[in-house]
Structure 1
Amino acid sequence: MTDAVLGFVLEKLENLIIHEANLFHRVKDDVNLLQDDLRIMNAFLRDSEGKGDGQDMVKELIGQIREAAFEAEDVINTYMAQVIKQRMRNLLQKSLHYFDQAVVLHQVAEKTQSVKRRIDNIYANKTKFGIEAQSHVDEETELSLQERRRNVEEEDVVGFGNDTAKLVDQLLDQGRVQREVISIIGMGGLGKTTLARKIYNNTHIKNHFDYCAWVNVSQEYKTRMLILDMLKCVGPIADETYKKSDEQLKDTLHDNLKGKRYFVVMDDVWKLEFWDEIRAYFPNESNGSRILITSREKEVASHASSTPYFLPFLDKETSWELLCKKVFRGEKCPSNLESLGRQLAESCKGLPLSVVVLGGILANKEKTHQTWSDFVGNVNWFLIDEDKKRCADILALSYNHLPRKLRVCFLYVGIFPEDYLISARTLTQLWVAEGFISVQNDSTKMDEIKIAEQYLEGLIDRSLIQVASKRSDGGVKTCRIHDLLRDFCIKMSIQEKFYEVRVNELSLSNSNPRRLSIQGSIDEGLPKEIWIMKQLRHLYAGQGLKLPQPPSKGGHTLSNLQVLSCVEVDEKTVILFRKSLFPNLRKLHLSSHLCWIDQSMVSEILASLKSLQHLQILKLSWLTIGQRLDLFSLSSSSKLTKVTVLNCNRVDLISLGKLVSLRILKIRECDMSSRQLHFMAGEFPQLEVFKMIGLRDIETWELDTHAMPNLQHLAIEECQNLRNLPDELWSLANLRKVELSEIPQNLKEKLMTKQSKMKEDGYSCKLIIH
């Protein structure tokens, strides 16, 4: 499989060196040589993409390149952090830290030379052993994969009765005489081929159409072979036909279809241009001819079809019926296994691929309660066992077909816990904070978020991510990933050293991941070994973890850490931030959900965050803030663009205005220190999004002129005592949308009158009242 993470790192480093060239003038020569090597390594990766996966020597070379690229990334980040930190100091501070700066620059130069020597050694070995990227696709491997896919997906799967009936009725509709293309869309293994095969073999279909043909398209199709396959469905092909040119074959197919009412199934279509290439072969004679396409990609199917059909997952009962059919082959399930069997079937989450493959495994195992118990909680790991080629290759088809920029974003989704409803906004902000979004150097943070949202839509359209809920404007609010795909992401990420997941255990021995996701209940907190994980860039804790104090000796810092999620704060937390142990942190979530700390300690912790010069996103939850949300000490940081305050007590928003870079402010389910909001002129000069959710204490809101001049989106939910919106709000030139839900009836009536007046006046702002 292609090393997506390595490709991302190399491209990121190349772009960083180009866009931030002015920062590297002190080590210019070394960096230029490093940049040349990065380009060569990236070119080798592109040449190897999807072609040399089975070669051990190519894999080993890619592994060595990965380690060199990661080391280069760390060196460059360390250098940039030091240069930026020095630039932000005043003249006296620069003089005091001049020696420190010189030491860091010397260390960076030495490390750059070390990386350069490592790369030179890699390419010496490449030449010595004659390692080259393969220039051809292994056709035997491709055929083997297609055979495995058909064996699984074309199994006589139970279910799909309603889906088959709906599509057969649509195909036979005699009121629609124009030639139509109908598409079936769904993730790999959902049963698209099975459903299409049931339709193709349906008696009513066979009797209705004069000519029926089935062709398997796949990723690497050859148009000539597809035409010949369609012609074979009519009858034997004469020897002269094989001698015809491609253009003559196209004419032959078109002539054979003229005057016929035909039905053609094109299974497993991947490329957008496919329909444009073949549509001319199919005459449209207003006789009710039909073409059925199956695809994992919405864009591909929608391009050819005006009526896409999104295939749903199996329900629990059908999953159990299918598992029984595969395991017991017509015999009845023993009563002592039914409860456990239903649990295993349910763990497949309605994916026929999972059920069929699991059934095949269980059919060859001893049918005892003990044997089946071994599968509980481990089903997906059995299914994506790469050595046995069960499901991994079928899932990898979608993964390998992704554009490089989307692969790393897709893998990242596996960092969240199983069955987790993922906030789309949180996910896209994490992608931005991690540097996954490819943008121009002059792009704003909001531009990056919009591009990240497009990336998410791209993964959804490719049937890799599922939409769980939508916002009122139609955008994605929450999403999820099927468990089998999530485990595939984790398996790939371990292979590519992208991240590791720990569930209910914290053993860090023999491990140095760049991202670490801690899930489950770990009461004792993180072990001190965390401080030796110098490559760590993202630490995610599902339920909150306490950070340990670093060892007393060794000057330990997590200098590469950029995302720190759900840290449980205590009296020791303030010390960690004051010591500047996280100099490159971009996203931080602090919580005291598991223990109570007083407001004076919270104030100290917030004040200590001024050391985080790169902080962009801050989330606070379950904290007793006190009389003021004392964040004004962060005003020296111009990069903090989003603050979320969740389930906090005694919150006052006034001092937030000191954060002049703030663009997004979200306050949810908080106990406010006052019943009145009053924002003064100049307090929120850059704020673009403001959300108040569940603030039941707020009664009045006053807004001075120029308090929020750039506000674009206002959302208010469950503020059940709010009596007014400020008149100044409606004069804001940039305001585009105001959303309100669960507000008092009298305020709702006032705003509905306002809504009618706004429509009459042609006001550009949308007022949405739920």
Structure 2
Amino acid sequence: MDDIWKTDVWKELRVAFPDNLKGSMILITSRIKEVAEHASRNILPYFLPYLKKDESWELLSKKVFQCDPCPLELEALGRQIAESCNGLPLAIVVNVEDVAEDYLEELIGWSSIQVARTRTDGGVKTCRIHDLLRDLCISESKEEKFLEVCSDFNLLHMSKSRRLSINCATPSDMNLRDSSNCHSLLDFGYGLWNLVTLELRTSKIKCLPKEIWMLEKLRHLYLGGPTSIPRARTDDKALRNLQVLTGIAINQDTEYLFAKDMFPNLRKLGLHSLEWPETGLLSSLRHLHHLQTLKIYELFQLPSPNSFHLKLTNVTLVHANLSSTATSVLGSLPYLRILKLQGFRRECIEIYLHCNESSFRQLDVFEMVDLWISYWELGKGAMSSLRRLVINNCPSLIMRPEELYMVLDCLAGFGSLTSL
């Protein structure tokens, strides 16, 4: 019996097992010492020893890659992650973000926090919290060195917190070069060698300084955009731990950085077009073997499907040129599950949307917002896995009745249709 948390569980179950001295045994695993001791008064619990480095790596690689071998370019990083778990099997097999999300759902269930916005897949995107509870959280976080909210820049060097939130600041006001303990910064700062998350979505910065390449542990970089990233002084300064990168301007430097595979482990990417020809840049994304989510503002041209080999599952295009070629490229992405197309209310550019019979086979969610789609043609068998369709402010949309019935038939079993 695996992962027993309460003594009452064993009390209720043990009556179902006869105690007739036949020699059978029941093995119980628990993370709680009291439960293990309560299960049998005559047998001492066996406490698992910590895993050695090689054992930790073996467990992690089996969990992540199943029966396949770990790619050579990821082995060094994987061993580093396994070692950071300090030999604890549970820490290795359970992703930290998954645990945090479980706690978040629990707090929502207790009405301690409220959901403000939800993701397309139903998960929580943003939350709200009462002022009194927020003050308590900030106070406790500061004491635990988990998070500190700062407004006096002269006191920043005294902070020992792993996360800093800097309010009402401009880059010239700050000097954070002594904050080496900081893992997450929710506004701005450099010289933070252990930084994992850099949040700059409310900043108007147009170009990051070259010191960004010194943040080798950086995993999440959120920019308001469009923001440029300068080229590194040498090509060996890749941000190999970076998983999320948003708000990036599409320009010559950006194209060069992706072509040189400077962000090899990206999973989420957000791009802004600045009237730069995007064909070369999007083709250079082929190095991003782990990329799942892509959002692009003002995309004017998609490359051919042959040069756009990505395992994307989530694509959002804002104010894009939705030509027949673009639709064909998107429809050919074999793993695409979520597609969002957004326009601008003030522009009335008519769009012809054609989906042939073999396109969008795995698509679960399709959203169209503020688009002037003059005609939507849906081939037989297209979007056969669709479970949610959102149509918001698309006043000129026309579909043939038989195609509309096909969509409704897909949604009849499990899906939902929202039309506003």
CA contact (8 A) 1:537 1:560 kept: yes
- Aligned twin of 2:180: none
- Aligned twin of 1:667: 317
- Aligned twin of 2:263: 612
Distance 1:673 1:754 in 2: 20
Structure with bigger RCO (C-alpha 8 Å, 6+ apart): 1
- Aligned twin of 2:279: 628
CA contact (8 A) 1:517 1:539 kept: no
- Point out the structure with the larger helix share: 1
Q: Are residue 693 (structure 1) and residue 342 (structure 2) matched?
A: yes
Q: Could you tell me which of 359, 362, 377 is aligned with 1:710?
A: 362
Cα deviation for residue 606 of structure 1 reads: 4.7
Q: Are residue 488 (structure 1) and residue 136 (structure 2) matched?
A: yes
Cα deviation for residue 652 of structure 1 reads: 2.6
CA contact (8 A) 1:676 1:698 kept: no
Number of aligned residue pairs: 338
Q: Could you tell me which of 701, 721, 733 is aligned with 2:384?
A: 733
Indicate the SS of the match to 1:550: helix
Q: Which has the larger radius of gyration?
A: 1
Counterpart amino acid of residue 717 in structure 1: V
Cα deviation for residue 763 of structure 1 reads: 5.0
CA contact (8 A) 2:358 2:382 kept: no
Counterpart amino acid of residue 583 in structure 1: R
Cα deviation for residue 732 of structure 1 reads: 3.1
- Point out the structure with the larger strand share: 2
Deviations 1:357-380 (A, max 9, x none): xxxxxxxxxxxxxxxxxxxxxxxx
- Aligned twin of 2:194: 535
The RMSD of aligned alpha carbons is: 4.7
Distance 1:465 1:752 in 2: 44
Distance 1:615 1:743 in 2: 33
- Aligned twin of 2:145: 497
Counterpart amino acid of residue 616 in structure 1: R
- Aligned twin of 2:255: 603
Deviations 1:441-495 (A, max 9, x none): xxxxxxxxxx94x654432221221233568998766532223323333333333
Q: Are residue 21 (structure 1) and residue 58 (structure 2) matched?
A: yes
Counterpart amino acid of residue 113 in structure 2: I
Indicate the SS of the match to 2:136: helix
Could you say if the C-alpha distance between residues 485 and 652 of structure 1 is closer, same or farther in structure 2, counting changes exceeding 3 Å?
farther
CA contact (8 A) 1:693 1:717 kept: yes
Q: Are residue 87 (structure 1) and residue 87 (structure 2) matched?
A: no
Could you say if the C-alpha distance between residues 508 and 715 of structure 1 is closer, same or farther in structure 2, counting changes exceeding 3 Å?
same
Q: Are residue 549 (structure 1) and residue 200 (structure 2) matched?
A: no
Counterpart amino acid of residue 468 in structure 1: A
TM-score, normalization by structure 1 = 0.37
CA contact (8 A) 2:316 2:340 kept: yes
Distance 2:234 2:304 in 1: 21
Counterpart amino acid of residue 328 in structure 2: F
Cα deviation for residue 532 of structure 1 reads: 4.4
Q: Are residue 435 (structure 1) and residue 96 (structure 2) matched?
A: yes
Distance 2:155 2:324 in 1: 48
Question: Which segments of 5 or more consecutive residues in structure 2 lack a partner in the other structure?
Answer: 1-30, 32-49, 63-68, 178-188
TM-score, normalization by structure 2 = 0.63
Deviations 1:366-398 (A, max 9, x none): xxxxxxxxxxxxxxxxxxxxxxxxxxxxxxxxx
Cα deviation for residue 560 of structure 1 reads: 2.2
Distance 1:622 1:682 in 2: 22
Cα deviation for residue 737 of structure 1 reads: 1.8
Distance 1:626 1:15 in 2: 51
Distance 1:760 1:678 in 2: 22
Cα deviation for residue 651 of structure 1 reads: 3.3
Q: Are residue 559 (structure 1) and residue 220 (structure 2) matched?
A: no
Indicate the SS of the match to 2:211: coil
Cα deviation for residue 566 of structure 1 reads: 1.4
Distance 1:619 1:557 in 2: 22
CA contact (8 A) 2:299 2:317 kept: no
Could you say if the C-alpha distance between residues 760 and 480 of structure 1 is closer, same or farther in structure 2, counting changes exceeding 3 Å?
closer
Indicate the SS of the match to 1:520: coil
CA contact (8 A) 2:334 2:361 kept: yes
Deviations 1:200-254 (A, max 9, x none): xxxxxxxxxxxxxxxxxxxxxxxxxxxxxxxxxxxxxxxxxxxxxxxxxxxxxxx
CA contact (8 A) 1:650 1:672 kept: yes
1:312-327 to 2 correspondences below 5 Å: none
- Aligned twin of 1:382: none
Distance 1:463 1:703 in 2: 43
Counterpart amino acid of residue 549 in structure 1: K
Distance 2:409 2:210 in 1: 62
Question: Which segments of 5 or more consecutive residues in structure 1 lack a partner in the other structure?
Answer: 1-6, 8-12, 26-82, 90-100, 117-404, 406-431, 439-450, 593-597
Distance 2:331 2:52 in 1: 36
CA contact (8 A) 1:689 1:714 kept: yes
Counterpart amino acid of residue 73 in structure 2: R
1:86-165 to 2 correspondences below 5 Å: 86-87=72-73
CA contact (8 A) 2:149 2:166 kept: yes
